[in-house]
Chains A and B, each alone.
Chain A
Amino acid sequence: MQFFSRKNWWKILGVLLIYYVLIYGFLIEVPRLSILNETIRNLFFHVALWFAMFILLIVSVVYSVKYLKNSDLNVDIIASEFATAGIVFGVMGISTGSIWARFTWGDWWVNDPKLNATTIALLIYLAYFVLRSSIEDNHQKGRISAVYNIFAFAAAVPLIFILPRLTDSLHPGSGGNPGFSAYDLDNNLRKVFYPAVVGWSLIGVWFTTMRIRIKKLKMITEEHHLN
């Protein structure tokens, strides 16, 4: 099967990593903490998805910068598809977080700075797509949305990470401390968590590259029909 070729190694790696996470994530021994109980295993899903989302959004911004430099429409496709993937992962992150919150903090949604911050991030990227749909010409579309992508990222996203640290929050790792020091990553947890971040990111990248390839094919067939 041509799928198992050399150039697809990273896709296979992503799949294998997720298998690892799914199996060991449930079987591995985790710290016993009250309130959280077994839900601490959500670390490998909810938190890992956030990290993956962040990675995808960074890729999107990087390609936006690239587009401004070379105006290649293919680069614009990459930037927008990674933004889409970022939104998808963001929604998955929020939903997994919401379920987790219902069982540990008591409510589906709470007034917590990290939650508000991520809603803002999601709103920004949804606005990105509204902007794209309101411009006709492809080159203009790419350029204007690239500018917005970069501007919004620079002006709001760093803040989204800093503000929760300044205030108190239900989330662990706020009210002064960085990272998850509240239930500091146990060695066992680390063994599944880091592979989870890589695994979800790779899956995200794989799906995004497939969508990019579909878009490129569409572009080629459109050009064909115009000729």
Chain B
Amino acid sequence: MILKEIWTLVKKEILIELRMKYALSGMILYLVSSIFLGYITFSLGRAQINPLTWNVLFWIIMLFVATNSIAKSFIQESKERLLYFYTIADPQSIIMSKILFNCILMLFLVISGFIIYIILMGNPVEDVGLFILSLLLGSLGFSTTFTMISSIASKASNSGTLMAILGFPIIIPMLLLLIKISKNAIEGLDRSSANDEIITLVAIIIIAISTSILLFPYLWRSN
């Protein structure tokens, strides 16, 4: 019953996104511009980019793309629409659907980002499978944290900067884990070496999802 509700809501979000293409294309443009910026600035030195720097730059660009795109999910919703949803759906379904939608969105952005990144900046990745796993976990991680932060920030004035202020400190531990896992993938290390980090990351994501589901109803009420 709830799953069906969630699925309907997710489909709605996807439909809205596809209809208002300007948001999605805006994000893709942001992505391409940042990657291009990185490409230009780093190839000025002619030297081949250090794989670790490559990795970190990628994740930082992804972080900014995530902050900007997920911010939209609550901050740009109009009051009337929010009120409408308040009457027809459970708060838990709403937050779960937003998280899922943002995850799908992030996956799309991250994978396209990865492809563009490889084209422009070369591909030093040895273990592509592990890297893709880190991309997956990254999308999930960004999505769960930032969706919740977006809902908190939307209640305050000055939401744009607040997203960054509230979100960055929380996302740093996750980011460190992601960078570690993807670094292992780049260096082609044995898959089990990153096990600790993967387990911890999955654990945080679970904690983030459960706290979001528990706490969101309290935010929802203030409408």
Contacts and interface: CB of A to CB of B under 8 A. Distances in A.
Are A and B subunits of one complex? yes
Contact of A150 (B156, B162, B211): B211
B81 to A, nearest CB: 20
Given A123-B168, A155-B208, A163 B222 contact: no
Given A68-B218, A134-B157, A154 B166 contact: no
Contacts of A127: 165-166, 169
Nearest to B141: A155
B78 interface: no
Interface string B125-161: 0000000000000000000010011001101111000
Interface string A118-155: 00110110010011001110001001101110111011
Interface string A22-54: 000000000000000000000000000000000
A64 to B, nearest CB: 10
B207 interface: yes
A162 B200 contact: yes
A140 B222 contact: yes
B93 interface: no
Contacts of B200: 159, 162-163, 166
A88 interface: no
Given A131-B156, A154-B211, A144 B219 contact: yes
B197 A140 contact: no
Given A130-B162, A151-B152, A124 B222 contact: no
B77 interface: no
A121 B172 CA distance: 10
Interface size class for chain A?
20 to 34
A151 B155 contact: no
Contacts of B122: none
B204 interface: yes
A158 interface: yes
B158 A134 contact: yes
Interface of B: 145, 148-149, 152-153, 155-158, 162, 165-166, 168-170, 172-174, 176-177, 196-197, 200, 204, 207-208, 211-212, 215, 218-219, 221-222
Interface of A: 68, 117, 120-121, 123-124, 127, 130-131, 134-136, 140, 143-144, 146-148, 150-152, 154-156, 158-160, 162-163, 166
